[in-house]
């Protein structure tokens, strides 16, 4: 369980985001407590261990813990560690664009295989619709609380099998690449002199249709890496990686010019149909 917690917290920290890393540490821990995955009275991971797992500075993690202690959420004792003493009084974390007042705004859960992936999908939902779009990492034995659940089509059958009593809440939606992705990929291939692209999907499912359909038309070769194939920025191709794969890369690989993260969003048409069926209002 301790290893699980370290993996979840470190995996949700995104060094490419402008949000300060210490603030991300505190936010993710608040989120885990609100979801019941960190129990009141339990110890948080040791600072050095979490810092190593996340690839960030020891003092960054310590500052995140100190922020939680200042809020009264945790208490630090020398020789014992940092223990959770109560749930946060602030609202649970949601991605940018989510509604500020959940008591007056409907809420939906956006589920993906990682918290980072779910947050990236939830952000445009909350930006386009008057809905509190809350990110939720896939957990077969722990579905989100009551309410609509948006998730990628590839995850739909698995979620239905794991959560059969939530069938009416599940809304699987196709994913499309973020608007400028194709143009950026093409430009990077040209600038770097790459002979094509190699997509690293992890467990995210099939390769994006847009890349397979459109890049070959402009002379760019597209290949899909095996599930266990490491990202190799020294190869001749531009490495395109999903959010799930991106989370597991070292800081050096994330900064490499031949490694580019792929961003998806829910297909606008299907999302609009679900939103109108649920009577959400456009922003």
* Residue 132 shares a structural domain with residue 271: yes
236 Cα distance to chain centroid: 29
The verdict on residue 89 lying in a domain is: no
The verdict on residue 95 lying in a domain is: no
Report the pLDDT value the prediction gives residue 47, as an integer from 0 to 100.
93
Quote the percentage of the chain above a pLDDT of 70: 90
* Residue 77 shares a structural domain with residue 26: yes
**Of 16, 51, 84, which one is at a domain's C-terminal end?**
84
Residue 201 pLDDT > 60, yes or no? yes
* Residue 135 shares a structural domain with residue 183: no
* Residue 165 shares a structural domain with residue 113: yes
Report the pLDDT value the prediction gives residue 104, as an integer from 0 to 100.
52
* Residue 222 shares a structural domain with residue 152: no
φ/ψ (deg, to 5) at 258:
-95, 10
Average pLDDT, rounded, for the chain? 83
* Residue 167 shares a structural domain with residue 203: no
Structural domain count of the chain: 3
pLDDT band at 277 (very low <50, low <70, confident <90, very high): very high
The pTM of the full predicted model, rounded to 2 decimals, is: 0.57
Residue 205 pLDDT > 70, yes or no? no
Question: pLDDT per residue over 129-171, tens digit each?
Answer: 888 888 888 888 888 888 999 999 989 999 999 999 999 999 9
The verdict on residue 132 lying in a domain is: yes
Q: Which domain holds residue 185?
A: 179-262
Report the pLDDT value the prediction gives residue 89, as an integer from 0 to 100.
61
The verdict on residue 163 lying in a domain is: yes
The verdict on residue 100 lying in a domain is: no
The verdict on residue 184 lying in a domain is: yes
Report the pLDDT value the prediction gives residue 151, as an integer from 0 to 100.
95
Quote the percentage of the chain above a pLDDT of 90: 27
The whole-number average pLDDT for the span 113-131 is: 81
* Residue 155 shares a structural domain with residue 219: no
* Residue 52 shares a structural domain with residue 122: no
35 vs 144: which has the higher pLDDT: 144
148 vs 283: which has the higher pLDDT: 148
pLDDT band at 78 (very low <50, low <70, confident <90, very high): confident
Q: What is the CATH number of the domain that holds 77?
A: 1.10.10.10
* Residue 29 shares a structural domain with residue 78: yes
* Residue 70 shares a structural domain with residue 115: no
Residue 103 pLDDT > 70, yes or no? no
The verdict on residue 102 lying in a domain is: no
* Residue 115 shares a structural domain with residue 50: no
**Of 39, 69, 84, which one is at a domain's C-terminal end?**
84
* Residue 111 shares a structural domain with residue 234: no
The verdict on residue 59 lying in a domain is: yes
């Amino acid at each position: 369980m301790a290893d699980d917690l370290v993996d979840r917290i470190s995996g949700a920290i995104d060094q490419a985001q402008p949000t300060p890393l210490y603030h991300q540490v505190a936010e993710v821990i608040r989120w885990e407590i609100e979801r019941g995955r960190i129990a009141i009275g339990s110890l948080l991971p040791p600072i050095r261990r979490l810092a190593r797992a996340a690839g960030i500075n020891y003092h960054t993690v310590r500052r995140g813990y100190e922020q939680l202690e200042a809020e009264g959420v945790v208490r630090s004792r020398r020789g014992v560690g940092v223990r959770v003493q109560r749930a946060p009084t602030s609202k649970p974390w949601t991605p940018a664009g989510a509604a500020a007042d959940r008591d007056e705004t409907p809420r939906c859960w956006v589920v993906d295989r990682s918290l980072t992936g779910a947050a990236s999908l939830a952000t445009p939902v909350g930006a386009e619709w008057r809905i509190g779009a809350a990110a939720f990492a896939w957990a077969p034995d722990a579905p989100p609380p009551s309410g609509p659940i948006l998730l990628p089509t590839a995850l739909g059958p698995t979620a239905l099998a794991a959560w059969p009593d939530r069938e009416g809440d599940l809304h699987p939606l196709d994913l499309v690449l973020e608007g400028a992705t194709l143009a950026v990929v093409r430009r990077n291939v040209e600038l770097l002199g790459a002979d094509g692209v190699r997509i690293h999907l992890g467990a995210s499912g099939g390769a994006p249709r847009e890349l397979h359909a459109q890049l070959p038309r402009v002379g760019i070769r597209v290949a899909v890496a095996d599930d266990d194939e490491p990202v190799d920025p020294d190869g001749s191709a531009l490495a395109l990686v999903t959010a799930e794969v991106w989370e597991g890369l070292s800081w050096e690989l994330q900064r490499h010019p031949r490694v580019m993260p792929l961003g998806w969003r829910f297909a606008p048409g299907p999302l609009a149909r679900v939103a109108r069926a649920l009577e959400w209002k456009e922003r």
